[in-house]
Chains A and B, each alone.
Chain A
Amino acid sequence: MIERLIESVTQFFLLLALAPLVTGVIRTLKARLQTRRGPGILQPYRHLGKLFGKGMVIPDTASWIFSATPWILFFSTALAGLMIPMVAADAPLGLFGGVLAVIYLLGLGRFFLALSGLDTGSSFGGLGSSREMTISALAEPAMMLAIFTVAIGAGSTGLTEIAGSAIGQNWRFLAPAQMFAFAALALVLIAETGRIPVDNPDTHLELTMIHEAMILEYSGPYLALIEWAASIKQLVLMTLLINCFWPVGLQHTWFGFGALQEIAWLLAKLLFLSCAIVLLETVNAKMRLFRVPELLAVAFTLSSLALVSTFLF
Chain B
Amino acid sequence: MLMMHFLDLQLGDRIITLMAALVLVLQIAMVTQRWIVVHIRIFAAQSFFLAMIAATIAWFNHAPHLYAAAALTVAVKVILVPILFERLVRRMKIHEEIEPIVNVPMSVVISGGLTLVGYVVAESFYRPDEPGLGHNALAVAISLFLIGFFTMINRRKALTQVLALLSLENGMFLAAISLTYGMPLIVELGVFFDVLVAAMVLGILVYRIRETFESMDVSRLRRLRG
Contact = CB atoms under 8 A, between A and B. Distances in A.
Contacts of B139: 309, 312-313
B28 A313 contact: no
A308 B140 CA distance: 12
Contacts of B120: 312
A175 B18 contact: yes
A305 B22 CA distance: 12
Interface string A273-313: 00000000000000000000110111011101100110011
B112 A301 contact: yes
Contacts of B20: 176
A309 B136 contact: yes
Dominant secondary structure of chain A at its interface with chain B: helix
A179 interface: yes
Contacts of B106: 297
B148 to A, nearest CB: 16
B53 to A, nearest CB: 13
A180 B140 CA distance: 14
Interface in B99-125: 104-106, 108-109, 111-112, 115-116, 119-120, 123
B119 A308 contact: yes
Contacts of A312: 119-120, 123, 139
B14 A305 contact: no
Given A305-B115, A312-B139, A313-B136, A298 B18 contact: no
Contacts of A300: 108-109, 112
B18 A174 contact: yes
B14 A297 contact: no
A297 B123 CA distance: 26
B126 interface: yes
A241 B19 CA distance: 23
Dominant secondary structure of chain B at its interface with chain A: helix
A187 to B, nearest CB: 12
Nearest to B15: A174
Nearest to A311: B119
B108 A298 contact: yes
B25 interface: yes
A295 to B, nearest CB: 9
A176 B105 contact: no
A297 B104 contact: yes
A218 B169 CA distance: 57
B28 A301 contact: yes
Interface in B112-159: 112, 115-116, 119-120, 123, 126, 135-136, 139
A183 B91 CA distance: 37
Interface in A164-181: 174-176, 179-180
Interface string A134-161: 0000000000000000000000000000
A234 to B, nearest CB: 26
Contacts of B136: 176, 309, 313
A298 B115 CA distance: 13
B61 interface: no
B115 A294 contact: no
A302 B25 CA distance: 8
B32 interface: yes
Contacts of A180: 21, 25
Contact of B112 (A183, A294, A296, A304): A304
Contacts of B17: 175-176
A148 to B, nearest CB: 15
Contacts of A308: 115-116, 119
Interface in B165-204: none
A298 B32 contact: yes
A294 B21 contact: no
Contacts of B28: 298, 301-302
Contacts of A294: 32, 104-105, 108
A308 B14 CA distance: 18
A183 B123 CA distance: 24
23 contacts: A174-B18, A175-B14, A176-B17, A179-B21, A180-B21, A297-B104, A297-B106, A297-B109, A298-B108, A301-B111, A301-B112, A302-B28, A305-B112, A308-B115, A308-B116, A309-B21, A309-B139, A312-B119, A312-B120, A312-B123, A313-B123, A313-B126, A313-B135
Interface of B: 14, 17-18, 20-21, 24-25, 28, 32, 104-106, 108-109, 111-112, 115-116, 119-120, 123, 126, 135-136, 139
Given A175-B18, A309-B136, A312-B119, 5 more contacts: A180-B21, A296-B105, A308-B115, A309-B139, A312-B123
